[in-house]
Amino acid sequence: MSFLELANKRYSVRNYKNTPVAKETINRCIEAARLAPSACNSQPWRFIVVDDSELIKDVAKAAFEGILNFNHFAFKAPVLVLIVSERQKPSAIFGSIVKGKNFSQMDIGITAEHFCLQATEEGLGTCMLGWFNESKVKKRLSIPKFKRVELIVSVGFSADDNFPPKNRKGTDEIVSYNHYC
Ligand SMILES: Cc1cc2nc3c(=O)[nH]c(=O)nc-3n(C[C@H](O)[C@H](O)[C@H](O)COP(=O)(O)O)c2cc1C
């Protein structure tokens, strides 16, 4: 598969089979995430893989139950991967302050996408989830209060045969050469 084919194939899967996912497969996705670039090579991330079926229910309950529970589908995912942001190198913190840019969150986004693309290559479906009850999740998994759980990635084999067409802006809307317009 070419990289473009892989990028096209990845989409947010919101309906999972209850087929378990092998630890080795998850480990290869983590390896791809580990290789991601980051500002000043800070690698400001930690991954918590939740693959125990009882614990998934607990974590999903903590994360996704509530009034706006549109991520309820994640209850059925056989694996949830939490991405916690960790301390950056002083140079990256300095750069973030001076340049007014959140390098840490950029790093988290990149590593998350590395994870998801490897998962796609493995025939798995993923969905990055940013909308969840962070404090309840931290409590359930004894993650220190001062840490941030930036994303939860649901992982599993898709229960759907067809995937939705890509809904993206056209190239002419997002690119210009040699000037901004
Ligand atoms: C940072 C981030 C947060 C997201 N949070 C959610 C979420 O809470 N719930 C959800 O269903 N999808 C979430 N998504 C998935 C996006 O909705 C999805 O990537 C986008 O609509 C494009 O569709 P595709 O991934 O199928 O190509 C999130 C994606 C990103 C990158």
Please say if the pLDDT value at position 68 is more than 80: no
**What is the position in ligand 1's atom list of the atom closest to the CA of 166?**
27
Going from the Cα of 127 to the center of ligand 1, the distance in angstroms, rounded, reads 6
What pLDDT sits at residue 104?
98
Using left for φ > 0, alpha for ψ between -120 and 50, and beta otherwise, residue 83 falls in: beta
Q: Are 118 and 124 in contact (CB under 8 A)?
A: no
* pLDDT at site 70: 83
Closest to 116 in 3D by CA, of 105, 125, 108: 125
CA distance 168 to 26: 28
133 within ligand 1 shell (Cβ under 6 A): no
- Does the beta carbon of 129 sit less than 6 angstroms from any atom of ligand 1? yes
Q: Is the CB of 7 under 6 A from ligand 1?
A: no
Average pLDDT for 108-119: 98
- Strands of 148-156's sheet in order across: 45-50, 79-85, 148-156, 125-129
Q: Decide: 11 in ligand 1 pocket, CB within 6 A.
A: yes
Q: Is the pLDDT of residue 156 over 80?
A: yes
Q: Mean pLDDT across the chain, nearest whole number?
A: 96
Q: Which residue puts its alpha carbon closest to atom 12 of ligand 1? A: 129
pTM over 0.85: yes
Evaluate: CB of 131 within 6 angstroms of ligand 1. yes
Position 173 scores a pLDDT of 96
**Any idea which residue has 């000037």 for tokens?**
179
